[in-house]
Structure 1
Amino acid sequence: MKRVYQSCADRITNLPADVIQRILVSLPIKDAAKTSILSSKWRHNWKSIPQLVFDGRFARINRVSESQSDLRSKLTMLNIYKALLVHDGPITKFVLSIPGLNFCDLIDHIVLYFANKGVQDFTLMFDSRIFDTSERSTDDYQMHSSLFSALHLKSLKLRSCELMPPSWFDGFSKLTHLRLGEVTLPSDFFENFLTKCPMLEYLRVIDCEGPAVELEIVAPSLKSFHYAGSLRVISFKCTPLLTFVALYTVDTETHDMAAFFASIPTLKQLHASAAFLNKLAAGNGNVPTKFPSPMHGLEVFDMIDLDFHNLEMEHVFVCLIMSAPNLRRLAIRLDPCHLDDPPVNNEVSSTGKLLEADDCSGSSKCLQQLREFTIEDSCGTQVELDILRFVLATAPLLRRISIRPSHQLSSKKAMKFTVEAMRYKRVSEEAELVYHWVDKNT
């Protein structure tokens, strides 16, 4: 038994240095520190790991009174500060995302510390949602100015703080990924800040306050843009690499759909709220059945909150799928607010009529590349049946249709919908229709 133990100990001790480092990086930092007892060779290795992640596995500040929360936050920050003091190697990644953490003066020192350490990936997230607060804090942490001198940054993720660049800020020349959530920004953020980040490829802005609501995105290296929040007008200029766009907003006053999509000729994935697309089309009066210039590059289309009882919204949906001949994946999430409407019947909906006008007999050129179609929160409407019938009849490469009913949908209506859908002819021999039945008795 002793020989077996010594053999195992020797194997652990004699692991190559790069293997030891990969093991330590994959562990929570508390567990990484505990490996110091394994052998003399391991004793100090944890002090030089290049990635420091302080998250919920390191500490969690439970819901307590404000004074207790402040005290626990300070004690947690002191422990983090102690860990940094004994660290003796380069740091490429730092994450501070502890649920319930309040900001304190020590955070300024930590930001200053990392600005001078050449960190490439920096994450600082405060999560007030653990306290079930419904309103944004009026005294969010204001990011220390030293962050703007961290010229090695490649990835920056911030939540629930203020980001106000000083006048001397010249930009992050190496920044490729920027994620901001519930961050207070300057009014000229998109106009001024982004132009100083020429290598930016990924931009995610969620529920942020302060920036102008009329946006012109100029980012020559941008590949992915995700925005949710108040927005009146948006346009893209000089974004030749942009392939992914997600827009979840209802306040837009941008009205020219054709011009909007023409400004993103490289678009491959579109994720949007139905209300946004409906507003986008509102200025045209009548939405055409197809765009004059088809979106040949669009491969993935995902729309949420779709209301098929809204005629304009139906037209927008039809217009988009008829204008994307290379669509591979189509996903819609319905707005289940019309469940009390009359059940499905044999009448052809307005959507069905528009689709049949494009020749539903099989010679239609749309959906020829479609592989997957998903309906979330199905309401069991006639419009859905018409769309299913069209998809099954025109998509020769279709492999799967997945339908998840709304939890509010009655079993009787769901059953009738399923039986009707199963009757439709399929041009794809591999097409599989999966209905995720909800058992109301469980």
Structure 2
Amino acid sequence: MIAKRVSKAQGFDLITTLPQAIIETILCLLPIEEAARTSILSRAWRYRWTTIPKLWLCLASVKRPSYMDVPDWWNHVSNLERARRAKNLRCKLFYAIHQVLLLRQGPIHEFTLAMDAHDTCFEIDQIILHLSRNHPIKKLRFFFYGFTAIAYGLPLSFFSLDQLADLDLEHCAFNYKPIFSGFSSLTRLSLKSTKISRETLLHLLSNCPSLKSLCLLVYEDEVLSDVKPNIMELFKCLPVLEHLTTWGYFIEVLVQASVPEEPPTSLIHLRYVCIEEMCFVDGYGLPFLAVLTRSCPNLEKIKLLNNTAWDDEIESSVLEECSVLLEEYSDVWLEHLNELEIKHFEGYAPELEFVKFILARSPNLKKVILLTDMDDKDEELELLKNLLSAPRASPVQIVVKYC
């Protein structure tokens, strides 16, 4: 058989002959403006970009005027002029978004919008309304930011996105009466700097029966209710949760609103918990951890990102409270926990007490990772000796290293 060489004159294009699904995957890896530019390659490529199922639209991707390349250009113009130029960029972005949506020839499954937004923005309202009516959105990400504390208020049409499986909201707000039906397919939810009332939050979580991953990074003043949600109210809304991420600012809200001696709700599916801005001496962090360990018997990993301003007087008073509190949870048994990680571990007494608490109640614990800011090897060695001499339920590996 004689192999025939395909000449360049025949116009053979290996990429063009790839299956449509592979071409869409490649185009999804490009910024939308770069994907649109492929339309000039040939007639066959003219509308290829209009069928990609993922759209990422960002204000930073809008072509900026040359004067913005000059360092500190904003210091040489008035506030009014800065506002006018910022508005021009926003108009360019919205024009590009509407052009993209009008030229669509296929469904949109993933949509990301990153830009500055305030409490009212009818252009974003229109985008959400269009998506809710015309596309089976499965993954939605709104990364909004602004120079004021007023977050973008989500419209009612947002709740019509009933096929959502993955939702990220940052600097948004919704405070509607709890009458919407929720998102039955949602498996992952992230709320960051999002203003929401207690009733709306609990109703939302209660109506996401498939929710497996939750990230709640909300400040106390972003919970728009005089009555705050408590730990058990939150846990009752999350029957199948597997991954939980939150931080000390929201933990304070949950613990303050909790009722003493309230019976725990068991989260039997929870495997991984991460707490950012964790504090052992604020009177909230350690009680939350104690309740968590009792309520989540199947935990496999605990990750804490410590952020504590220590004071020797505070430490001595908290140590006694810490010991008494942990004694009340002596019945905790974490049979499935295999890893504990604490970042910015300082080796103070309340931290040590919690680590020892975990060591004594985790028969299958394999590794404890303590990332410290200590650069003194003698201090690290002393810390290791202290922990190795503590009672342990398993032959665990303890790693102490500088982070």
Aligned partner of 1:379: which letter? E
Partner of 1:417: 383
Aligned partner of 1:437: which letter? Y
Partner of 1:144: none
Partner of 2:256: 279
**Aligned counterpart for 2:154 among listed residues 158, 163, 169:** 163
**Relative to structure 1, is the Cα distance of residues 252 and 432 closer, same or farther in structure 2, using a 3 angstrom cutoff?**
farther
Deviation at 1:39, TM superposition (A): 4.9
In 1, Cα distance between equivalents of 2:235 and 2:108: 38
Instruction: Note the alpha carbon deviations across 1:397-417, whole angstroms, 9 max, x for none.
Output: 222211122x5x674755543
**Relative to structure 1, is the Cα distance of residues 310 and 127 closer, same or farther in structure 2, using a 3 angstrom cutoff?**
closer
Partner of 2:347: 380
In 2, Cα distance between equivalents of 1:383 and 1:91: 53
Aligned partner of 1:434: which letter? V
Partner of 1:428: 394
Unaligned runs of 5+ in 1: 138-159, 233-246
Aligned partner of 1:420: which letter? N
Partner of 1:391: 358
- Report matched runs for 1:164-313 at 5 Å: 164-165=155-156, 171-188=160-177, 191-193=178-180, 195=181, 197=183, 199-209=185-195, 211=197, 216-217=202-203, 218-219=206-207, 221-224=209-212, 226-229=215-218, 253=228, 261=235, 266-272=240-246, 273=248, 274-281=251-258, 283-284=259-260, 296-309=268-281
Instruction: Note the alpha carbon deviations across 1:69-124, whole angstroms, 9 max, x for none.
Output: 11232234334444555x36123246463545899876677566656543535857
- Which has the higher mean CA deviation after the structures are superposed, 52-61 or 384-393? 52-61
Partner of 1:52: 55
Aligned partner of 1:22: which letter? T
Partner of 1:91: 107
In 2, Cα distance between equivalents of 1:13 and 1:175: 32
SS in 2 for 1:374: strand
2:23 is equivalent to residue 20 of structure 1: yes
In 1, Cα distance between equivalents of 2:225 and 2:381: 34
Deviation at 1:366, TM superposition (A): 0.8
- Report matched runs for 1:60-209 at 5 Å: 64=74, 65-84=82-101, 87=103, 89-93=105-109, 95=111, 97-99=113-115, 114=131, 117-121=134-138, 123=140, 125=142, 127-129=144-146, 133=147, 135-137=148-150, 160-165=151-156, 171-188=160-177, 191-193=178-180, 195=181, 197=183, 199-209=185-195
In 2, Cα distance between equivalents of 1:435 and 1:42: 55
* Aligned partners of 1:51 and 1:91 also within 8 Å: no
**Relative to structure 1, is the Cα distance of residues 207 and 417 closer, same or farther in structure 2, using a 3 angstrom cutoff?**
same
Deviation at 1:5, TM superposition (A): 8.1
Aligned partner of 1:276: which letter? V
Unaligned runs of 5+ in 2: 75-81
Deviation at 1:371, TM superposition (A): 0.4
In 2, Cα distance between equivalents of 1:304 and 1:296: 22
Deviation at 1:373, TM superposition (A): 0.6
In 1, Cα distance between equivalents of 2:52 and 2:200: 44
Partner of 1:154: none
* Aligned partners of 1:73 and 1:104 also within 8 Å: no
SS in 1 for 2:156: coil
Percent of pairs with identical residues: 21
Partner of 1:242: none
Deviation at 1:372, TM superposition (A): 0.6
In 1, Cα distance between equivalents of 2:24 and 2:313: 61
2:380 is equivalent to residue 367 of structure 1: no
In 1, Cα distance between equivalents of 2:91 and 2:144: 16
Deviation at 1:317, TM superposition (A): 3.3
* Aligned partners of 1:343 and 1:413 also within 8 Å: no
Aligned partner of 1:77: which letter? F
* Aligned partners of 2:264 and 2:291 also within 8 Å: no
* Aligned partners of 1:306 and 1:333 also within 8 Å: yes
Partner of 1:332: 304
TM-score between the two structures when normalised by the length of structure 2: 0.70
SS in 2 for 1:375: strand
**Aligned counterpart for 1:42 among listed residues 45, 59, 64:** 45
Partner of 1:29: 32
**Relative to structure 1, is the Cα distance of residues 38 and 379 closer, same or farther in structure 2, using a 3 angstrom cutoff?**
same
* Aligned partners of 1:294 and 1:323 also within 8 Å: yes
Deviation at 1:305, TM superposition (A): 4.5
* Aligned partners of 1:231 and 1:252 also within 8 Å: no
Partner of 1:155: none
Partner of 1:243: none
